[in-house]
Every structure is written in structure tokens, then in C-alpha cells.
Amino acid sequence: MPQPVVDIFIPCFVDQLFPNTAWNMVKLLEALGCTVRYNANQTCCGQPAFNAGFQKECRQISDKFLEDFSREGADYIVAPSASCVGMVRNAYADLYVASSQLVKYRTVERKVLELTEFLVDVLQVKSIPGAKLPAKVTYHDSCSALRECGIKEGPRKLLGMVEGLQLIEMRETETCCGFGGTFAAKFEAISTAMGEQKVENALSTGAEYIVSTDTSCLMHLEAYIKKNNKPIKVLHIADVLTQGW
């Protein structure tokens, strides 16, 4: 079987704040036989502008995204963020519904996948040699992964392939963590209370780590954890799957 050629999309949060997660995704994809390409011209998917109501400005960014990821030769476009993947799959459909670029969008849209669904649904990974994390973890279903991308069981299957890892489900794992992009800035008190509830539910499991597909959720939870000296840490699932290498 030929190696799949993967163009990676590194979202703003990962690029600026969690670059090691991007490197770990690359290591993982290459170890599983993928040819990985990175277009250094890529920028944002446009989600912040779109969510704030600036559709004209968002179109300028989304047009660039389509241009950056329309290169020939790629079988898939993979990102370590269900939030950004959900933006491209769903919000772009509204932006391009009556556009001359609709065909280009549909071509790109069919290739865009979040990391865990690419591993489970496309590569059909059955094991991850060398992955090892002897710890108790709990998994947070991000809103974008669950509701926009339909991702639920895949990440849990992958966590089950990590030697020594014990997955313990928390209460209300499908409840929002309170980040929501600009929501956290506009409604700070509500956002903080939601983050507190999520962290407390995670702590009640006895887990040492909260794991998710989205660094934005994890950043929000980590801020609460550090400010309140809570005895738990956060890890993106790409970082978990490359532990022990």
C-alpha cells in the first residue's frame, strides 16, 4: 500500500503556544508510514473572525487557507484540532455556498481530518508501538470534536493502545469546558465557573491528566489549574500517543 501524503495544518494555538504538540503529531504520522508535508505559508483558518461576526474579513483568511491547501499531491489535510477542522467543514460551507470557489472548497473539505479520526478511520491504527504512559487519565470531549466532527470513540480507542495508561471517565465529560474562544473573554465569570466544574469533575476520578483533542480547551483548563494549584495536568492526545518514545 502506498504511503499516504499528508499536508499538516497547524492551528494558531498550537503554533504559538504548544509547538511540541505539532512536532509530536509529525513524529506520530511519520512513524505510522505517512509522508508529511508542511506549507510554511499557512496561517489561520479564520475562526476567530467568523465567530465574532466579521465574515468579510474571515473570507480573506479562508480564501488564503484554500489556496495554501490546494497543492497537488496531498491525499489528506490533518490538524491536531477538532475546532479548526470543524470550522473548515461547517462554517466554510456557509461562506462558499454561493461562491465561484465552491468547487475548490469542496475539494479541500473532503480531505480535512482531525488527527484522531485520521488515525482511526483512515489509517485504521490497531497499535502504536512504543507509546507508554503509566498514569491515570480522564478524557474531555471538546464541543468541536463531539458536536461538529462527530468524534467520540476514536480518541478513547487510541488511548487504549498506550501501555500503562488507565482511562477513567469523568462526570459530564460531554459538557463544555467554558472556553469557546471569545466567550471566555466576554463572559469571564461564566467561563471560569464552567472550567472549575470541568476540573473538579476530572479531579474526582483521581486522574493525573486531562486529555483532549483541542489545545484551546486544555489551555483554558490549565489556566484554572495553575491559578488554583490543582493537582492535575493537561496533555493533548498527540503528546500522549508519543509518550515513551
Mapped onto helix, strand or coil, the DSSP state of residue 160 is coil
146 and 116 assigned to the same domain: no
73 and 114 assigned to the same domain: yes
Domain extent, residue 189, equals 136-241
Q: Does 11 fall in a domain? A: yes
Check which CATH number belongs to the domain holding 16 and give it.
3.40.50
Phi, psi of 183 (to 5 degrees): -55, -40
17 and 103 assigned to the same domain: yes
* pTM, to two decimals: 0.94
pLDDT digits (tens, 9 = 90+) for 6-23: 999 999 989 999 999 999
116 and 167 assigned to the same domain: no
- CB-CB neighbours of 240 under 10 Å: 24
pLDDT digits (tens, 9 = 90+) for 98-149: 899 999 999 999 999 999 999 999 999 999 999 999 999 999 999 999 999 9
22 and 90 assigned to the same domain: yes
Domain boundary among 75, 94, 122: 122
Number of structural domains found in the chain:
2
128, 29 contact by CB (below 8 A)? no
- Any idea what the Cα angle at residue 128 is, between residues 127 and 132, rounded to 5°? 120
